[in-house]
Structure 1
Amino acid sequence: MIQRPPWSLTFADAPPLTVFAALGGHAVVRLEDLPEIPPTELAAGDIAVVTVSRRHTISDDLTTAPQAVIRAGHKQLLGPADRQANLSNALAPRTYGDGLPGATTLIRGTYAPQGDAGRRLLSTLPPPAKVAANPRIDAALELLTSEAARDEPGQDAVLHRMLDLILVLTLREGCTKSGLERPTWYRALSDTAIGTALERVHSDPAHRWTVAELATAAGMSRAAFAARFTELVGQPPLAYLTDWRMTLAADMLRDGSEMTVAAAARAGGDQDAFAFSVAFKRVKGVSPSRWSRETAASATS
C-alpha cells in the first residue's frame, strides 16, 4: 500500500501470522480483539509480527477511523467516496493507494501455517513484536518492494520465498537484538550442547534415542545433560522426544490422510501401533484415528 494519511485498514479475519513492514512514513497496529495489548507503532524500516490476533487495524494514527474492512480477501470500503477511490486504486500488481508524495508505504505478508508443527511454532512466539529497522532487513525489504510491483512468470514463488526470508530475519533479529523475551526453543537451539542434541532428535525422530546417547552427542554427563535440557526446553529429553514425535504424527494423519495409524507409528520409531495410540492420546487428548477424522471434518467445514 502507498497512501497518504489519513488512512486506516481493518483486517477482520486475519490468518495466524501476519508481518507488517513500514517502508516509509509512520504506522500503528492495534489488536481489536485483544484491547489489553498496547498498540505497536512503526517508523520507516520497522517490522511488526502479529501472531495472536485475528482482527486488527493498521493506520497512520490511532485516531483515524477505519476506511476499509478486509474479510475473506474482499475489501469493504467505508467512509467518504474520495477516500474509497484511493484505497481501491491499483498502482501496480499487488499495490494500491494514491502513490502521491508524503504517502506511507506499507507491505503486508500473511501466513497460514498448516499442521501441528506450525501451530507449535506459533504458540512459542511472543505477542505483537516490533523489530527496529536495520541494514540487513532493510536490504531484503528493498528487494521485496521491487519484486512486488513486477508481474512475471514465477513471481508468486519469488515473493513467497522472499517473505519467508524476511520473516526468518525478523524473528532472528527479534530474538537476538530487540530485547524481546527469547522463546524457549530459541534459547535451547542457541546453546551449543543442547542445540546439538535437538538437531539430532529433529533430523532422526524415529531413532530410539536414550538420554545417555543424547548426552554423549552433547558432550555432557547424563545427569548434567538432563538437567540442562529440562531447564532450557521446559521438558525432560524423552518427554520432548515423545511430544515431537506426536506432533509429526499428527501432521501425517491430519485432514483424512491415507496414512494408517501403524504407518505413522513406524515413521515415529514405534513398531507397536497400540503403544503409539496410547502415547498419541496422552499428548493430543484424542486417539490417532479420531484426530484424522476430526481434522478432515474441520478442513471441509
Structure 2
Amino acid sequence: MLSQFLDGPRARSAFVLKVVLDSPWSMRIEDDAPISIVAITHGRMWIVHNGSSVPVPLTAGDVVIARGTEHYVLTDDPAREPTVVIGRGGHCRTLDGTRIFESMSLGVRTWGTSAVRPDVMLVGSYQTDGEVSRWLLDALPPIVVLRSTDWESPLIALLADEAVRAEPGQQVVLDRLLDLLLVGALRAAFAGGAVTVPAWFTAESDEVVGPVIRRMQDDPGHPWTVAELAAAARVSRAQLARRFQELVGEPPMTFLTRWRMSLAADLMVEPDATVTAVAKTVGYGSPFTFSTAFKRAHGRSPRTYRDEQRAEASDRRSSLTAPHGA
C-alpha cells in the first residue's frame, strides 16, 4: 500500500541546489514547496520550524524531510536571527528585499559564501503535489529528521556529485535521484518510528483489511460492494465493516470513495485527461455523477480543479526558469 502513496511525489523539473555557507549564517525557508528534502553533507547546523520553539541540531549525514507549507529556519546558531529569505522557486533575498542569488552563485547549482566546505547541504524541493500523495504528506509532521546513525544512503553522495554537473538530460537524472532519496527516507521514517504510523499504513498487514484495500487500489473502476469485498476476504459483511472501521477509522465504502476522488484529482491534471475518461477510470458510469462527487470532495468541478492545478504548475515552472534574483 505504501508504494501507491510513494508513487505520488514524482519530481518534474525539481529544484536541486548545493548550499555552501561560512559562519555566521541564518536563512528562513518560505518556498511553499509541497515537500523538500535537505541532506547535510558537511558541518553542523540547526533547524527551527514555526510550530516549535525548540531548535533541532543537525550534523553531517542527517536528512530532513520538510513539508514546504511549514516555514522553517536553517542556521549555524539557533540564537541568530535570519538574514536571508528563500522564497518560492528558490528566489533569495535579504530581509530588506535585496536580491542576492546571482551574487552568491558558486557555480552549477551551487550557492553560498564559500567553496571550502564549511557548512554544506543539498536541498531538493518538489514543485507540485497530488491528491494521492497528499494522503502520505498529511501523515507527516512539519519536520522529520533522520539521523545518520539510524539511516544511511549512498544516494546522498551520488546526488551531491550529480547536482553540480551540466550534462545533457541532467535535470531528468536529478529528478530520479531525488525521487529515490525521498522514497528511501520516507520508508526509513515509517519503519524506524520517526513519524507516527497512520492507520492505513498498519492496515496493509492485516489478513482481512489488507487484501481488501489492495483490491480497491488495484482496480478503482470496479463497481465494488461490501458484499463482494467481504467475500474476497472470506469474512461476513459485518466482520469486514467492523474490522475495517477499527483499523482504518472509516467504513470500506468511505475509504473507496476517498481513494477514487484522490486518484481522480491526480488524473485530471494529466495532459489528455477528460472528465468522461477519468470518471470511467475511477468507477463512475456517468460524468455528471462523477462531477457531483468530485465537487463534494474537492469543492470545485473537475474542470475548474484541472485549470487551477495546471495554472499553478505553470507558475512554479516559470518561477524556476526565471533568474533567481527576479
After TM superposition, the score normalised by the length of structure 1 is 0.82
Aligned: 1:158 with 2:178: no
**Among candidates 38, 58, 62, match of residue 42 of structure 1:** 58
Shift of the alpha carbon at 1:199? 2.3
**Among candidates 215, 234, 245, match of residue 230 of structure 2:** 215
* Structure 2 residue matching 1:105: 3-state secondary structure: strand
Which one is further off, 276-285 or 195-204?
276-285
After superposition, the C-alpha distances for 1:58-101 in whole angstroms (9 at most, x for unaligned) are 1112122323222233222469xxxx8998140x4212331225
- Match in the other structure for 1:128: 143
Distance verdict in 2 for CA 1:190–1:153, change over 3 Å: farther
Gaps of 5+ in 2: 1-18, 316-326
Distance verdict in 2 for CA 1:199–1:250, change over 3 Å: same
Which one is further off, 186-195 or 47-56?
186-195
C-alpha distance in structure 2 between counterparts of 1:159 and 1:295, whole Å = 24
C-alpha distance in structure 1 between counterparts of 2:35 and 2:184, whole Å = 15
- Match in the other structure for 1:5: 23
**Among candidates 279, 293, 296, match of residue 279 of structure 1:** 293
C-alpha distance in structure 2 between counterparts of 1:291 and 1:159, whole Å = 29
C-alpha distance in structure 1 between counterparts of 2:23 and 2:166, whole Å = 28
C-alpha distance in structure 2 between counterparts of 1:53 and 1:115, whole Å = 14
Alignment of 1:187-226 (within 5 A): 187-191=202-206, 193-226=208-241
Aligned: 1:76 with 2:93: yes
Shift of the alpha carbon at 1:15? 0.9
Aligned: 1:184 with 2:199: yes
Distance verdict in 2 for CA 1:173–1:294, change over 3 Å: closer
- Match in the other structure for 1:267: 281
Give 2:58's aligned amino acid. L
C-alpha distance in structure 2 between counterparts of 1:254 and 1:163, whole Å = 22
Between Structure 1 and Structure 2, the one with more helix by share is 1
Tell whether the 8 Å contact from 1:115 to 1:254 is kept in structure 2 after alignment.
no
* Structure 2 residue matching 1:138: 3-state secondary structure: coil
Which one is further off, 285-294 or 60-69?
285-294
Report how many residues are paired.
Answer: 292
After superposition, the C-alpha distances for 1:167-220 in whole angstroms (9 at most, x for unaligned) are 111111111114421123322234454333222222211011222333344454
Shift of the alpha carbon at 1:52? 5.7
Tell whether the 8 Å contact from 1:131 to 1:178 is kept in structure 2 after alignment.
no
- Of all paired residues, the percent bearing the same amino acid is 37
Which one is further off, 158-167 or 241-250?
241-250
**Structure with the larger RCO, 1 or 2 (CA within 8 Å, 6+ apart):** 2
Distance verdict in 2 for CA 1:219–1:23, change over 3 Å: farther
Distance verdict in 2 for CA 1:94–1:288, change over 3 Å: closer
Tell whether the 8 Å contact from 1:40 to 1:48 is kept in structure 2 after alignment.
no
Tell whether the 8 Å contact from 1:22 to 1:46 is kept in structure 2 after alignment.
yes
- Match in the other structure for 1:61: 77
After superposition, the C-alpha distances for 1:128-159 in whole angstroms (9 at most, x for unaligned) are 11111158633221221122222222221111
Aligned: 1:142 with 2:157: yes
Alignment of 1:92-107 (within 5 A): 92-97=107-112, 98-100=114-116, 103-107=118-122
After TM superposition, the score normalised by the length of structure 2 is 0.77
Tell whether the 8 Å contact from 2:30 to 2:85 is kept in structure 1 after alignment.
yes
Distance verdict in 2 for CA 1:85–1:251, change over 3 Å: closer
Gaps of 5+ in 1: none
**Among candidates 228, 248, 253, match of residue 233 of structure 1:** 248
